[in-house]
């Protein structure tokens, strides 16, 4: 792979190559109907392969999140995350006219293409670079072989960063006949993301990169401020340095306190809208909104109340139970639906295959916040929904009694 100083037929000409976009996705599964639940893009300079931009977010797939034991993403984590439609414009900005790179490029491209197609948009992949082909090994093996650190495997940003580093190491093996990808369609963007760092104890904001890149990523003060605020809140905290940077950003733009307050309201209201999207405001969403209101100095009166759902104090023999989604126990062991149904029978429950108003009394999901079709129907019908962990606890109580 040659750099942007490649010369064409005219010895005096220099053709500048476009940047590279290293992508990684975590998905609900491998099929055509599966959805993206997390995406990351690491943008590289074509000459040096240095990172010039990073973007990552969880995505609400508006369905079951799939194999949590692989990607580590629960339904609760994506409740308030943006949908793909909400981030499509921001993503397109980072893919259009870029050379696509990924570890198993055909898979990631196919999943992202499917998401764009659902929006009547199109991602034409061009000819990119597959680091799986360059290395001949899966990502965990390839990084180990080439001395590349890979923490948090199966997190989109961690894997995209690792693929970027792998490209740097294997640059001489990369093909020269690359072509940029193009994205077409009427797509909107959003200043809002939701990253996994919001759910970790030691999540850290990327203050230096955000402030340095704010103007490049935004065409107006409003957008620059909102995107900067969003990046700083990746750990749901604002330390004094971050607050000072926001104040400086506003001061340089000549924005007064009222304008900043209105932007905070706009940011907060976007989270409220996302929390209400499925008709349910969970305890986690409620706590998240409280924390966000505190950080942004917004009145708690605007925080919607927790939605009270039917509770399950005990498993009632004779009740009909349905299961949805993949599940794991506290040790990370995958629990198959056959095992769950067998356990249900031992405590006197009758497993049923589907959720109907008259033939189902309880739904057990991998996560009680699941947005699967079965979970949505259960809530519409007033049928209690509990997580697998709670089901296992109640079953143990039942058997002990």
Distance CA 134, CA 150 (A): 18
Report which of residues 336 and 134 the model is more confident about: 134
- pTM of the prediction? 0.69
The token duo for 390 is 């709670």
User: Please, which residues have CB within 8 angstroms of residue 84's CB and are 6 or more apart in sequence?
Assistant: 35, 36, 59, 61, 115, 118, 119
- Over 90: is that where the pLDDT of 55 sits? yes
Does residue 123 belong to any structural domain of this protein?
A: yes
The domain boundary, picked from 127, 155, 184, lies at: 184
The mean predicted confidence, pLDDT, of the chain is: 85
Check whether residue 101 and residue 53 sit in a common domain.
yes
Does residue 15 belong to any structural domain of this protein?
A: no
Check whether residue 24 and residue 147 sit in a common domain.
yes
Does residue 6 belong to any structural domain of this protein?
A: no
Domain enclosing residue 293, as ranges? 196-302
Task: Give pLDDT, residue 5.
Answer: 38
Does residue 312 belong to any structural domain of this protein?
A: no
Burial of 45 (0-12, 13-18, 19+ CB in 10 A): middle
CATH of the domain at 328: 3.40.50.10190
The domain boundary, picked from 184, 209, 240, lies at: 184
Check whether residue 234 and residue 162 sit in a common domain.
no
Check whether residue 340 and residue 288 sit in a common domain.
no
Check whether residue 369 and residue 231 sit in a common domain.
no
pLDDT tens per residue, range 151-183: 878 899 999 999 999 999 999 999 999 999 999
pLDDT tens per residue, range 124-137: 999 999 999 999 99
Check whether residue 43 and residue 180 sit in a common domain.
yes
Check whether residue 363 and residue 252 sit in a common domain.
no
**Biggest alpha carbon–alpha carbon distance for the chain:** 86
Mean pLDDT of 309-332: 84
Does residue 103 belong to any structural domain of this protein?
A: yes
Check whether residue 212 and residue 67 sit in a common domain.
no
Total domain count, the chain? 3
CATH of the domain at 98: 3.30.420.10
Task: Give pLDDT, residue 74.
Answer: 86
What string of DSSP letters covers 77-133?
Answer: HHTTSPPHHHHHHHHHHHHTTSEEEETTHHHHHHHHHHHHHHTT-EEE--B-EEHHH
Distance CA 116, CA 39 (A): 13
User: Which pLDDT band holds residue 332 (cuts at 50, 70, 90)?
Assistant: low
User: Which pLDDT band holds residue 1 (cuts at 50, 70, 90)?
Assistant: low
Distance CA 112, CA 268 (A): 28
Does residue 12 belong to any structural domain of this protein?
A: no
Check whether residue 171 and residue 234 sit in a common domain.
no
Check whether residue 248 and residue 387 sit in a common domain.
no
Report which of residues 326 and 28 the model is more confident about: 28
Does residue 11 belong to any structural domain of this protein?
A: no
Does residue 392 belong to any structural domain of this protein?
A: yes
The domain boundary, picked from 302, 337, 354, lies at: 302
- Over 60: is that where the pLDDT of 241 sits? yes
């Amino acid at each position: 792979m040659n750099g942007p100083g490649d010369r064409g037929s005219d010895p005096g000409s220099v053709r500048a190559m476009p940047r590279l976009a290293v992508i990684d996705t975590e998905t609900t599964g491998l099929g055509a109907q599966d959805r993206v639940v997390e995406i990351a893009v690491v943008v590289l300079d074509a000459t040096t392969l240095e990172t010039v931009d990073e973007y990552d977010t969880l995505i609400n797939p508006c369905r079951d999140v799939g194999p949590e034991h692989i990607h580590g993403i629960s339904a609760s984590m994506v409740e308030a995350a943006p949908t793909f439609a909400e981030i499509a414009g921001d993503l397109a900005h980072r893919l259009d006219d870029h050379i696509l790179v990924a570890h198993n490029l055909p898979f990631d491209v196919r999943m992202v293409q499917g998401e764009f197609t659902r929006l009547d948009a199109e991602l034409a992949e061009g000819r990119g670079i597959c680091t799986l082909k360059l290395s001949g090994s899966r990502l965990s093996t390839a990084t180990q072989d080439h001395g590349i650190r890979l923490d948090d495997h199966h997190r989109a940003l961690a894997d995209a960063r690792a693929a970027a580093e792998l490209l740097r190491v294997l640059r001489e093996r990369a093909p020269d006949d690359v072509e940029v990808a193009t994205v077409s369609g009427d797509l909107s963007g959003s200043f809002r993301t939701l990253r996994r760092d919001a759910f970790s104890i030691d999540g850290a904001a990327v203050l230096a990169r955000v402030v340095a890149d704010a103007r490049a990523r935004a065409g107006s003060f409003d957008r620059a401020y909102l995107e900067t605020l969003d990046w700083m809140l990746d750990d749901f905290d604002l330390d004094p340095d971050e607050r000072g940077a926001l104040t400086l950003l506003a001061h340089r733009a000549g924005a007064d306190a009222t304008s900043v307050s209105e932007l905070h309201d706009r940011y907060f209201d976007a989270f409220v809208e996302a929390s209400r999207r499925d008709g349910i405001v969970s305890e986690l969403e409620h706590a998240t909104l409280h924390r966000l209101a505190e950080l942004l100095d917004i009145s708690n009166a605007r925080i919607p109340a927790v939605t009270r759902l039917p509770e399950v104090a005990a498993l009632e023999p004779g009740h009909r139970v349905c299961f949805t989604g993949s599940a794991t126990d506290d040790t990370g062991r995958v629990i198959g639906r056959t095992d769950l149904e067998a356990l249900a029978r031992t405590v006197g429950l009758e497993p049923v295959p589907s959720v109907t108003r008259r033939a189902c009394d309880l739904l057990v999901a991998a996560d009680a916040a699941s947005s699967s079709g079965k979970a949505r129907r259960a809530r519409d019908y007033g049928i209690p929904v509990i997580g697998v962990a709670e089901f296992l606890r109640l079953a143990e109580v039942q058997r002990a009694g």
